[in-house]
Amino acid sequence: MLIILFVSFVILLLIGAPIAYSMGFSSLLALILSGSTFPLEVVVQRTFSMLNSYSLLAIPFFILAGDLMSAGGISKRLIKFATAAVGHLPGNVAQVSILSGMIFAGVSGSSVADAAAIGGVMIPAMKEKGYDKGWTAALQAAVSTMGPIIPPSMNMIVYGSLTGISVGAMFMGGIIPGVCIGVLCMLYVAFLATKRKDKFPYLAPDGKFIGWKALGKAFLNAVLALLTPVIIIGGIISGLFTATEAGIVASLYAMIIGLFVYRTLTIRDIPKILIKSALTSASVLLIAAMAGPFAWLMGVAMFPQHTVAWLAQLTSNPYIVLLLLVLFLLVLTCFVEVLAAMILVAPVLSAVCTSYGFNPIFFAVVMVISLLIGQITPPVGVLLYVTSGIAECSFTDICRKIWPFIAILVITVLLCVAFPGMITLIPKSLM
């Protein structure tokens, strides 16, 4: 059954079938050709039962919150604050892009939303400064990966629905690694600006610090937007609402400040935003639904148990096993979309790592970061297509410039493996 399932899935992907349909059809084919005693109706049953998850309810609301923030011009207020804070540093506009991405990550929960909202403003700004198009697109793609790591995170919501692990705890666990990625990107840009001036002249410091008074004014102008991640995280930590309810709160908050405080939204804008959010949510949840029977068949065929037995034959060292799994995830996401890859392997690998004694929150965050590297890795890397389209550069050009940023994410994963407290410290302290 497993051979039919995997071979048919790979063939469908190679001929260009959408990932959702590839999983659904290969599941149906495996049941028919393997001589299974299970009725075909089980495919439909597992498809719908996959969506019968309280945690998954948060996804449409976090998508809606991000769309409301973008449509209401809130991302521009965040960028103005970031410009006031770090625009004078070596790397000028690039540093602004990184800090803006870190802040917006605490609002959207989606890497693609980050790339569109922040990249749509910052990439043209960097091009005006004479930045190389390919490097600009590569930077923005890497920065956008912080979206699903710094809470809230759609990927963590899906992981929690698959494994039963606390979504709130995963949110807390992603804070330090997400900030680490942003800091490493800023340090790398500062290094290029000071030590590689000949190759990156556009990164030279631009202007002076605007002063604390002007910075305070920029902060006050963006404070309501900056409060969004504080409300989400604070509400979860205090127990005021769950991670799922946080999505509803974030959407309502974004709508209120857009309509009544900043007045950058009108009632006429709401239907368009709702339709856009619904279409995005549908595409995400369709993949989740079709992965239901696929993941169930892997369980029926005892794939997790076979994986544990195979790893036990290779080594008894749990950290070598962990590094092998990280390597597997890096390779997997070179060819399979991140959300689909997570749905396919999260239940299996979570069980494997638990059997080796790893903290489930620790492995969940490591897995999320490892899979997100795939979003900036050719040939599937969706963020490469998004940001290269905004920057109007060739896909080949961005692929040549992305590798230092991939290295930054890999270094972050290795730091998390070496120092698990980066992930577990905040959840243990606050929850």
Distance CA(223)–CA(227), nearest Å, equals: 6
Within 10 A of 303 (CB to CB), how many other CB atoms are there? 20
Q: Quick check: 115 and 383 in contact, CB under 8 A?
A: yes
Q: Which residue, among 73, 17, 79, 27, has the nearest Cα to 50 in the 3D structure?
A: 27
Q: Which residue, among 61, 181, 153, has the nearest Cα to 338 in the 3D structure?
A: 153
Three-state secondary structure call for residue 33: helix
Across 390-405, average pLDDT: 91
Distance CA(136)–CA(394), nearest Å, equals: 12
Select the more confidently predicted residue: 62 or 368.
368
Flag whether pLDDT at 55 surpasses 80: no
Buried b (16+ CB within 10 A) or exposed e, 200-212: bebbeeeeeeeee
Tally of helices (H runs) and strands (E runs) in the chain: 23, 0
Distance CA(325)–CA(303), nearest Å, equals: 15
CA dihedral angle for residue 345, residue 347, residue 353, residue 354, rounded to 10 degrees: 180
Q: Quick check: 150 and 105 in contact, CB under 8 A?
A: yes
Lowest mean pLDDT among 213-217, 238-242, 420-424: 238-242
Q: Note the pTM of the prediction, 2 decimals.
A: 0.84
Flag whether pLDDT at 137 surpasses 90: yes
Question: How high is the pLDDT of residue 304?
Answer: 65
Distance CA(415)–CA(206), nearest Å, equals: 32
312: left (phi over 0), alpha (psi -120 to 50) or beta: alpha
Contacts 24+ apart (CB under 8 A), 249-252: 250/61, 250/62, 250/65, 250/107, 250/152, 251/61, 251/62, 251/64, 251/65, 251/68
pLDDT digits (tens, 9 = 90+) for 291-343: 788 878 877 777 767 776 777 787 778 888 898 888 888 888 777 778 778 87
pLDDT digits (tens, 9 = 90+) for 140-169: 999 999 989 998 888 898 898 888 888 889
Select the more confidently predicted residue: 24 or 370.
370
Flag whether pLDDT at 247 surpasses 90: no
pLDDT digits (tens, 9 = 90+) for 218-227: 888 888 888 8
User: Which residue type occupies 410?
Assistant: V
pLDDT digits (tens, 9 = 90+) for 76-89: 888 888 888 888 88
Flag whether pLDDT at 69 surpasses 90: no
350, two tokens: 């979570």
Flag whether pLDDT at 185 surpasses 90: yes
User: Which residue type occupies 175?
Assistant: I
Flag whether pLDDT at 375 surpasses 80: yes
What stretch of H or E contains 269?
helix 269-300
pLDDT tier at 359, thresholds 50, 70, 90: very high
Task: Look at the block and give the residue holding tokens 């991000």.
Answer: 66
Q: Which residues contact 194 (CB under 8 A, 6 or more apart)?
A: 90
Measure CA of the first residue to CA of the last residue in the chain; give whole Å: 42
Q: Quick check: 83 and 96 in contact, CB under 8 A?
A: yes
Three-state secondary structure call for residue 151: coil
211: left (phi over 0), alpha (psi -120 to 50) or beta: left
Distance CA(185)–CA(97), nearest Å, equals: 10
Distance CA(30)–CA(12), nearest Å, equals: 13
Flag whether pLDDT at 431 surpasses 70: no
